[in-house]
Amino acid sequence: MTMVEINFDGLIGPSHNYAGLSHGNLAATRNAGAISRPRAAALQGIAKMRANIALGLTQGVLLPHARPNHRWLASLNTDYATASLPLKAQALSASAMWAANAATVSPATDTADARCHLTVANLVTMPHRSHEWRGTLAQLRLIFANPAFAVHPPVPAPFGDEGAANHMRIADRHDAPGIEIFVYGVSGGGFPARQRIEASEAVARGHRLDPARTLFVEQSEAAIAAGAFHNDVVAVANGPVLFAHEQAFADKAGFYAALHERMPSVQIVEVPASAVGLEDAITSYLFNAQLVTLPDETVALILPEEARANPRVWTWLQTMIAGNGPIRRLEVVNVRESMANGGGPACLRLRVVADPATIDPRFLVDDARLDQLAAIVETHWPEMIDPAAIGDTALIAQIERAHAALLDSIGLTRAEAVGLIDSLPSS
């Protein structure tokens, strides 16, 4: 059995638009009302997947959800034609693209029953995200149907859970037992703290983690107030390396001490606020990078272009690379369309450590599969969406045709496809 880290990227859906739905996500609110480019957005995401494959990484894909979500509107006793504009936007959101919010994942090495556990996030803090879970659960049950996995439904409301975006794992290697770190928020100044400790604790119990190797860490109020609506905007971990902003955590000293005690081999790369302030860290998405181990064991940071464009951030990165730290290589990707909604390279992916042979092969991608996906996007995805025009029936018909064409191309059985279209759990 070969356990590797697989990055499942959310394919950016045909309804990608800038509706300004996420209070506390500064990029999304700043771009509210702007014209989006769903086709370019999805192609940027595909190019990122291709670049990761070229680096020797194993790549998977999560499909966009059927939007508008008619089932959700029906549960609100309305339909798309008659719903208010805010409800239309919430039903139409392509936010499932940010796969880091799909679920929390604990590899088999960390769990009492030696299965890889996934708990779907409830995303209850934001209305447009709160209806993702059914589609995500249906899809994860398809992809991870093998008994090597346990896929759990979400923790109930009101305990907000935003999935892997608030979860980190430190381990000597991907296939070695790790320390799992759950980051929750208590207060966020004027912005909501989206991850509740009760949810993190419930996920950890469900995953049957060893309490001695599990940490619950509070995100700093300053970070949330500055726009870090998820921990993965101010910190990222991979293998034995934690890369974090100095102001990411409420009790940094206590957290670092607990981590060192449990994993003496941990290497912490901290960015001081004096070199990169929270504002620069958040606008550049320096920490929303994919921190990965390449096949030759080099640790690389896959950053958004916005990080290179910020002189303070880029200067700090150049100094880091010139030094002797564990992060040895920088790669830059263009995911501007997603970034404009507050989703960087790390938001777009869900990491799963598993044997690829246990995964439904329809959800693993190579260059040829990405060519097929790109062809569907080129043919069917709308070129532009003006959020003021989401009532346009021709646009909605195009979005629904695009999704149907994608499902057709994946080779799903009728029952599987119905599960994904109707967002019904498959069992």
Name the residue among 326, 280, 327, 329 with its Cα closest to residue 307: 280
* Site for ligand SUG contains 124 (CB under 6 A): no
Name the residue among 114, 97, 98 with its Cα closest to residue 106: 114
Report the alpha-carbon angle 412-417-419, nearest 5: 135
CB of 258 to ligand SUG, least distance (A): 24
* Tokens at 344, concatenated: 């960087």
Count of residues making up the chain: 427
Candidates 88, 129, 245, 369; binder of ligand SUG (CB under 6 A) is 129
* Site for ligand SUG contains 122 (CB under 6 A): no
* Site for ligand SUG contains 343 (CB under 6 A): yes
Q: Find the binding residues for ligand SUG in span 193-232 (CB under 6 A).
A: 229-230, 232
* Site for ligand SUG contains 9 (CB under 6 A): no
Separation of CA 54 from chain center: 21
Indicate the residue among 58 and 195 with the shorter CB distance to ligand SUG. 195
Amino acid type, 212: A
Binding footprint of ligand SUG, residue count (CB under 6 A)? 23
CB of 79 to ligand SUG, least distance (A): 21
- Please state, in angstroms and rounded to a whole number, the distance separating the CA atoms of residues 47 and 44: 5
Span of 69-77, 248-256, 341-349, 399-407 interacting with ligand SUG by CB under 6 A: 341-349
CB of 129 to ligand SUG, least distance (A): 6
Q: Give the CA diameter of the chain.
A: 60
**Do residues 133 and 154 make contact, with C-beta atoms less than 8 angstroms apart?**
yes
Candidates 100, 193, 204, 385; binder of ligand SUG (CB under 6 A) is 100
Q: Find the binding residues for ligand SUG in span 13-72 (CB under 6 A).
A: 18-22, 25, 28
Q: At what angle do helices 414-421 and 133-143 cross, to 10 degrees?
A: 150
Q: Alpha helix (H) ranges present in 100-206? A: 127-130, 133-143, 197-206
Task: Kindly state the DSSP code that residue 388 receives in the 8-state scheme.
Answer: G
Indicate the residue among 25 and 423 with the shorter CB distance to ligand SUG. 25
Span of 51-59, 95-103, 141-149, 200-208 interacting with ligand SUG by CB under 6 A: 95-103
* Site for ligand SUG contains 347 (CB under 6 A): yes
In the complex, the residues that contact ligand SUG under the rule CB under 6 A are 18-22, 25, 28, 93, 95, 98, 100-101, 126, 129, 165, 229-230, 232-233, 341-343, 347
